[in-house]
């Protein structure tokens, strides 16, 4: 059988010890109506002659050209948005609430046990994606966290109820729920494994790298569908040291385009031939950041918390954007905080408005265009502390901290950051978040993005009323590169506790009068 390679893809002669290791099995036939969804990448492969019997492949149909990476099936295209936690979390909740089907006597304790256990499971990573799915790997963590959460609830119940019979009945219900949780986990893991093996649910994966580890990962993904990943190709830097025997579908500079073209959901980093800083800048690109990111540790002895593909340990790298449940949690906390703050601080807001009116007359609010999430403009609201000469000055004047036109009242509002309080309304509208990178004017966003490549990456999340860079002393005339570094660190290490720490430090700055 002879096929012509796809135009634009390199053709190389692949030796048996490298190329044929990826060709352990032929990919399934592609539905014609879905053909072209992902580009077919081909490689010309020389098959050994009969004289080299020990290296002869028994399949005569691989004589000239063989498709190495292959396209997603119709099933994977329809189910690419599914994640394991979508099955596991509801089953856990149903198991924990099961005592309510027998009696409603302990409904408060049961609800508390359910909420606490799900939170403890989530904090322990028991709802994160795993490539090697095994109930035995999760069993120690499941049992330990079930015991910890149940102990907390039992202690609270013992403090509220003196009746031994009540406590005994409640403990029995929790024990039954815990057994059902373990049984539910076993069931969901079997379902997930079956769905992967039948290729009902799978996600397209690009391997970043072309070394021996990358080649072995490609072979394992091709041979074992139980990992839920469909290998679509290698991507690496165009370097002389890159092995020419490995089929590469593109370079790292083309990664964003290839992610869109192949409908890629997962990226696996395995010894790419480029500096780590360069790779991180590429992985932060808006088209690349939504992909799940995994990495094969380079150092021997690196722990991967039990996750692996074959015998190769892999680790899940934290998300570089806020999305999914994390984004929903952050947005809910923003709305709760902003709504509560507007009610509690309404007397202070009224006082600040009165001071601004006494100082400058009518028009106590100052509106200015700023750049928010994904580069979208919006109007920020502040208390007026000075009137600019014209719109040009308003948009391009970097700082008015030492401007003599700022009155004593305006200077007080700025130093205490009280002029920022109207932005609580921006938060309720969804233009801003409580904590995030500080918003900047379009003129400076364009200028700084051209000078500092990492600056534009700040707009992966909503801008904030306060931010990690600001509470770390990076306000006013401070290096933009340092601000961008702190903001990107915040985005890639976000948690509710990090938001709480920034807010506590912001309150300390306000009382210390550390504003502009």
Give the pLDDT confidence of 88-137 residue by residue, as tens digits.
999 999 999 999 998 888 898 899 999 999 999 988 888 888 888 888 88
Q: What is the pLDDT of residues 320-337, one digit of tens each?
A: 667 667 788 899 999 999
Query: CA torsion, points 178, 133, 283, 494, in degrees to nearest 10?
Result: 10
pLDDT tens digits along 88-98: 999 999 999 99
Is residue 340 scored above 90 in pLDDT? yes
Q: Which secondary structure element, helix H or strand E, spans residue 205, and what is its range?
A: strand 203-208
At 283 the pLDDT is 84
**Helices within 212-323 (DSSP H only):** 212-223, 255-262, 276-283
- Strand pairing partners for 230? 204
User: What is the CA angle 153-159-165, rounded to 5?
Assistant: 80
Beta strand 266-269 with 203-208 is parallel
Q: Is the pTM of this model over 0.75?
A: no
Three-state DSSP string of 433-485: EEECCCCECHHHHHHHHHHCCCCHHHHHCCEEEECHHHHCCCCCCCCHHHHHH
pLDDT in tens, 440-490: 888 888 888 888 877 888 888 889 999 999 888 887 677 888 888 899 889
Residue 254 makes CB contacts below 8 A (sequence gap 6+) with: 235
The yes-or-no verdict on residue 35 having pLDDT over 80 is no
pLDDT level of residue 163 (50, 70, 90 thresholds) = confident
CA distances from 158 to 105, 254, 265, 407 (A): 15, 61, 48, 60
Query: How far apart (Å, rounded) are the C-alpha atoms in residues 303 and 238?
Result: 31
Which residue, chain included where needed, has tokens 């030796």? 15
Please, what sign has the CA dihedral across residues 333, 334, 337, 340?
negative
Strands 42-44, 65-67: pairing is antiparallel
3-state secondary structure of 267: strand
How far apart, in whole angstroms, are the C-alpha atoms of residue 71 and residue 80?
13
Q: What is the pLDDT confidence band of residue 144, given thresholds at 50, 70 and 90?
A: very high
Angle at 486 between CA 482 and CA 488, to 5 degrees: 115
Higher pLDDT, residue 416 or 217: 217
- Average pLDDT of the residues in 405-430: 84
For residue 208, list its beta bridge partners.
235, 269
53 or 388, higher pLDDT: 388
- Distance of alpha carbon 136 from alpha carbon 309, whole angstroms: 16
How far apart CA 514 and CA 516 sit, in angstroms, is 7
Q: Confidence band (pLDDT; 50, 70, 90) for 374? A: confident
Residues facing residue 207 across a β-bridge: 234, 268
Report d(CA 292, CA 282) in Å as an integer: 14
The H-assigned helical ranges of 124-244 are: 135-160, 164-197, 212-223
Q: Are 501 and 384 in contact (CB under 8 A)?
A: no
> What is the structure's pLDDT at 320?
62
Confidence of residue 155 (pLDDT cuts 50, 70, 90): very high
Q: Is 426 a residue whose pLDDT tops 90?
A: yes
* pLDDT band at 147; cut points 50, 70, 90: very high
Q: How far apart are CA 13 and CA 326, in angstroms?
A: 47
């Amino acid at each position: 059988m002879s096929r012509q390679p796809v135009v634009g893809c390199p053709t190389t002669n692949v030796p048996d010890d490298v190329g044929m290791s990826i060709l352990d099995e032929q990919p399934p036939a592609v539905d014609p109506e879905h053909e072209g969804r992902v580009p077919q990448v081909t490689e010309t492969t020389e098959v050994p002659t009969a004289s080299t019997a020990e290296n002869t492949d028994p399949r005569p149909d691989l004589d000239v050209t063989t498709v190495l990476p292959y396209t997603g099936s119709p099933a994977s295209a329809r189910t690419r948005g599914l994640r394991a936690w979508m099955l596991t979390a509801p089953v856990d909740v149903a198991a924990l609430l099961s005592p309510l089907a027998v009696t409603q006597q302990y409904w408060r304790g049961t609800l508390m046990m359910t909420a606490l256990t799900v939170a403890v499971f989530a904090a322990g990573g028991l709802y994160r994606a795993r490539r090697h799915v095994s109930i035995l790997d999760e069993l120690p963590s499941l049992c330990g966290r079930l015991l910890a959460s149940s102990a907390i609830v039992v202690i609270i119940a013992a403090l509220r109820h003196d009746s031994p019979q009540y406590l005994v009945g409640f403990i029995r219900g929790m024990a039954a729920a815990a057994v059902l949780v373990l049984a539910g986990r076993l069931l969901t893991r079997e379902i997930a494994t079956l769905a992967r093996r039948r290729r009902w649910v799978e996600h397209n994966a690009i391997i970043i790298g072309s070394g021996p580890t990358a080649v072995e990962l490609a072979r394992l993904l091709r041979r074992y569908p139980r990992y839920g990943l469909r290998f679509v190709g290698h991507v690496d830097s165009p370097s002389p040291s890159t092995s020419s025997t490995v089929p590469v579908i593109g370079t790292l500079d083309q990664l964003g385009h290839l992610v869109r073209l192949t409908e890629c959901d997962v990226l696996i980093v395995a010894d790419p031939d480029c500096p780590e800083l360069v790779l991180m800048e590429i992985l932060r690109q808006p088209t690349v950041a939504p992909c799940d990111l995994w990495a094969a540790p380079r150092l021997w002895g690196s722990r991967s918390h039990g996750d692996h593909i074959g015998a190769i340990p892999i680790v899940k790298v934290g998300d570089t954007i806020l999305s999914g449940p994390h984004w929903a949690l952050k947005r809910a906390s923003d709305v709760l905080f902003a709504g509560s703050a507007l009610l509690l601080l309404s007397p202070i807001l009224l006082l600040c408005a009165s001071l601004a009116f006494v100082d400058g007359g009518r028009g106590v609010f100052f509106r200015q265009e700023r750049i928010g999430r994904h580069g979208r403009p919006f109007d920020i609201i502040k208390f007026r502390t000075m009137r600019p000469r014209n719109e040009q000055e308003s948009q391009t004047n970097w700082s008015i901290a030492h401007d003599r036109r700022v009155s004593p009242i305006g200077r007080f509002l700025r130093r205490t950051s009280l002029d920022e309080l109207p932005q609580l309304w921006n938060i309720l509208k969804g233009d801003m978040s409580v904590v995030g990178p500080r918003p900047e004017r379009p003129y400076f966003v364009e200028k700084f993005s051209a000078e500092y490549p990492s600056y534009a990456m700040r707009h992966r999340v909503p801008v904030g009323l306060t931010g990690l860079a600001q509470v770390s002393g990076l306000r006013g005339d401070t290096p933009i590169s340092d601000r961008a570094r702190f903001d990107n660190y915040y985005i890639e290490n976000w948690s509710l506790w990090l938001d709480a720490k920034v807010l506590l430090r912001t309150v300390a700055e306000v009382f210390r009068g550390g504003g502009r």
